[in-house]
Amino acid sequence: MKNTVTAAGFALALILNISAAASAETPAAKENAAVESPATAGPDKAVLERALKGDAAAQYDMGVVYGMGKDGVTRDHRAAITWFLKAAAQGHVDAQYDLGMFYLFSEDESLRDATQSARWFLEAANKGDTRAQNAIAAAYSGGQGVDKNDAEALRWWRKAADKKSAEAQFNIGYAYLLGEGVAAAPADALRWLTLAGDQNHTDAQYMLGRMYIEGVGADANPALALRWLHRAADARHPAAMMLIGDAYLDGHGVEKSDVEAYYWYARAADIDNAFNEERDALAEKISPKDRVDVQKRLIQR
């Protein structure tokens, strides 16, 4: 599946993934107090003082404090955005990228603004930030905050791929596979997906498995398909596990075994219950003892 704007740095991942149950609404007045009053409880006073004097790095740090709810401060995305805007206006690239993320994904839906998100991703992308280049490419690909433009998406993914971004390599491969922004070219798709797969991009590894099973972009090669699928399965990719199960069910590249197929179906279903029906249907075809043995294997993993 094609990547969307989801990647963020460690700090931002913490900001956006904290449970919404822990959040509290903060009146807009608190935003002004957070920005204007050095007496605000919680943030490091030295950092706050530098931020109030216009230091971009300190302003960014203040945005992180409010975005994460650090140092005893109530998490407040509105105040975080206020500080990020101050830093971003001075060219702080991390602030520009994080603004793009907050405007796209903030838990406060009233703050979401796809147009502003794309604007700030583009600012950071133009400064060479790989995360932002992937993000603005995804925005153009999906028409989020900008007019949909597959060719422009591909242009930005190429910039990120020039810096060895596995996400970009995957999306270029996917574009060649589907003919989005470029003429469909399965062999080129295979080449780009291999670059991403070699960097442990699990969706690329899964797609490579499928392509080698189906003979897309290269001759069908069940053994090579299984090698890629096992790499994806090692990273807990349930669809890859299902394809490994299919290989055992049909005897493609491996000795046919309903029991081994059930094992892989069960592993996939343990991660994604969308596969429960197929697992349960196959369970009816093997003996109770074999089902128990598989459950033991799953427990002992």
- Note the pLDDT of residue 301: 86
d(CA 50, CA 47): 5
- Asked whether 192 and 172 are in contact (CB, 8 A), the reply is yes
Low-confidence ranges of the chain (pLDDT < 70): 1-41
pLDDT digits (tens, 9 = 90+) for 58-79: 999 999 999 999 988 999 999 9
pLDDT digits (tens, 9 = 90+) for 176-233: 999 999 999 999 999 999 999 999 999 999 999 999 999 999 999 999 999 999 999 9
* Residue whose C-alpha is closest to residue 241's, from 195, 196, 282: 282
Neighbouring C-beta atoms of residue 207, cutoff 10 Å: 26
- Note the pLDDT of residue 22: 35
Report CA dihedral (176, 182, 183, 185) to the nearest 10 degrees. -20
Specify the pTM: 0.83
- The set of residues, in sequence order, having a beta carbon less than 8 Å from that of 278 and lying 6+ positions away, is 242, 265, 269
- Note the pLDDT of residue 275: 98
- Note the pLDDT of residue 42: 79
d(CA 169, CA 161): 6
Amino acid 262 reads Y
- The set of residues, in sequence order, having a beta carbon less than 8 Å from that of 12 and lying 6+ positions away, is 67, 97, 98, 101
- Note the pLDDT of residue 16: 46
- Note the pLDDT of residue 11: 40
Q: Could you tell me the domains of the chain?
A: 1-148 (1.25.40.10)
d(CA 295, CA 204): 29
- Altogether, the residues listed in the chain come to a count of 301
- Note the pLDDT of residue 2: 53
